[in-house]
A and B are shown apart, each in its own frame.
Chain A
């Protein structure tokens, strides 16, 4: 069964460093999302992406964050200058785009980011 994959599974970085989290959505999916979960908190939306542009972004998604779909398969989240509070589990998700709100989003296994 097709699945969303994410790399790396874990990333440790120093504050101020740039990180790139990578996701490969399911191949026929058109809508892509990044969510994050700070330890002990609920999952929260970061950004959605469709047709090679951002559809929506949350207040969290400031100028330090960017997303890109550099080729036909990868979907990346870049944090330009990491802060301690960026430490979280980051999930990528995708959906086909055929069902609107009545459609399953498929989640990747997550990247656990730790900023020291």
Chain B
């Protein structure tokens, strides 16, 4: 069974700061998902990546398959980035196994 760990659990930042959220998993995977959960509860898929790096606007996700580790970076953070960020990995049957999430608060 794949164990998914995230750090930190909580993160506060001032607007403009560079944010890093980390995710590690115990069993090799084909791809890793980064998700954003809004304060209202809805979940949005941010990235799915299987190698290297992906960038979307101010968000950058990286993955090191050998080390079983991924990071999500937010450049020039903004209060609207405040949310819970979750990494998830597919099991061998394709259901997603979720990390505990990182609660990010960005203050003006």
Contact = CB atoms under 8 A, between A and B. Distances in A.
A112 interface: yes
Nearest to A58: B95
A106 B45 contact: yes
B33 to A, nearest CB: 7
Contacts of A75: none
Interface in A1-47: 31, 33, 35, 37, 42-45
Interface string B38-52: 001111110010100
Interface of B: 29-31, 33, 35, 40-45, 48, 50, 86, 88, 90, 92-101
- Interface pairs A-B: 4 shortest CB-CB: A101-B90, A101-B30, A107-B43, A43-B98
Interface of A: 31, 33, 35, 37, 42-45, 48, 55-56, 89, 91, 93, 100-107, 109-110, 112
